[in-house]
Structure 1
Amino acid sequence: MRRPLGDVCLDIASFARERKHEFLSYILRLAAAEAYKSTAEEDAFELPMVRKFAARELIAGIWDWDISNDRNHLDAGAAHFFGVDPERAARGMPNVNYFNAIHPDDIARLQAAVASSMRLGGIFECEYRLIRNDRIHWVLARGSCTLDRHGRPVRLPGALIDITHDKNMN
């Protein structure tokens, strides 16, 4: 089942808006508009799972990292995955406060992906494991880093997608 990338972006944008993440919703609507400009086959998005899920079912949580002030704001779903208090996460905490939940073998790769996105701006994407209640959960973190006019990273909002099911199928 292939869906146009623009449709997927709009589904996630609606999900973000429902959770009061207006900036992320705006970015996703822009991405949808860009995706609709092209009808090439590579713009189709295929979920690599036996059971196909709606985009809304896949999103485990949303974050918005204010890099300039090192305050990462997470919604309740993302806070749950990282094992932190949802109210504290909503108010924002330094990004390092979320590292305790990340599998130690994945931290360097995650930091490299973040550094690359912050250096160049644009898409950030990384698969990594989170340890919660002595269980491993796989997530795909995807966002977009905004640079200021001097090329310094200022913001990195994004979404966590639970891919544990997919990883367990392999």
Structure 2
Amino acid sequence: MARTLSDYLIEIAEHAARFDDKVLEHLCRMTALHAYRTNPPLQLRSQTIIGIWDWDVVNDRNHLDPNCSRLLGQDPDAGAKGVSNTACLSAVHPDDVAAVSQKLARAFQGGVYEAEFRIVSGGTVRRVIGRGYCTVDPSGRPERFPGAIFELDGPRLDSTDD
């Protein structure tokens, strides 16, 4: 049975709770509720979370779990304290950076982010999908952006509308 965005956000929230990250847990649960109410079921083919992040957009600090830190070529201690988004994007395959950045810009209006891309790490290229939700302040400026990276199985999806 296919899983929805809400299912994945609840899974991320449970993962965050195990790491005693109350902020990420709360954001994921609230986002799951919002996704359940406002979005058609969006589904992923993979069921393996390989990293989670919580991006403080205002201060440009991506707080990464240890797996996400390693995946993106960052020291896990630095990832826990927060690294810049530029540092995170440095692991994205150069041919995919523009598309990922474009999708991030769309999500900055407040909404779901989903992008398939390649990560180059330790000489290995992995296909992944990033999914998150950007919240905005009352003025419409992006504030927080929690999400996760999933292992992608199967061929890359067409992204003709992106």
Q: Does the TM-score normalized on the shorter chain lie above 0.5?
A: yes
Of 82-91 and 7-16, deviating more is 7-16
Structure 2 CA distance for aligned equivalents of residues 130 and 22 of structure 1: 28
TM-superposed CA distance for 1:68, in Å, is 1.0
**1:88 partnered with 2:88:** no
**1:166 partnered with 2:158:** no
Of 88-97 and 9-18, deviating more is 9-18
Aligned residue-pair number: 155
**1:48 partnered with 2:38:** no
1:142 to 131, 150, 160: 131
Cα deviation, 1:19-65, whole Å, max 9, x if unaligned, reads 23323322332344456669xxx5384x536xxx4xxxx11111111
| Structure 1 gap ranges (5+) | none
Q: Judging changes above 3 Å, is the alpha-carbon distance between structure 1 residues 8 and 96 closer, same or farther for their aligned structure 2 residues?
A: closer
Q: Indicate conservation of the 8 Å contact 2:62/2:83, yes or no.
A: yes
Write the letter of the residue equivalent to 1:48: R
Q: Return the structure number with greater relative CO, CA threshold 8 A, min gap 6.
A: 2
Q: Judging changes above 3 Å, is the alpha-carbon distance between structure 1 residues 77 and 167 closer, same or farther for their aligned structure 2 residues?
A: farther
Q: Indicate conservation of the 8 Å contact 1:2/1:44, yes or no.
A: no
**1:116 partnered with 2:114:** no
Q: Judging changes above 3 Å, is the alpha-carbon distance between structure 1 residues 109 and 137 closer, same or farther for their aligned structure 2 residues?
A: same
Structure 1 CA distance for aligned equivalents of residues 37 and 140 of structure 2: 27
CA-based RMSD: 2.4
TM-superposed CA distance for 1:16, in Å, is 2.2
More helix as a share of residues: 1
In the other structure, the counterpart of 1:157 is 146
Write the letter of the residue equivalent to 2:126: H
**1:99 partnered with 2:89:** yes
Q: Indicate conservation of the 8 Å contact 2:31/2:133, yes or no.
A: no
Q: Judging changes above 3 Å, is the alpha-carbon distance between structure 1 residues 5 and 78 closer, same or farther for their aligned structure 2 residues?
A: closer
Q: Under a length normalisation based on structure 2, what TM-score does the superposition of the two structures give?
A: 0.82
Q: Judging changes above 3 Å, is the alpha-carbon distance between structure 1 residues 102 and 44 closer, same or farther for their aligned structure 2 residues?
A: closer
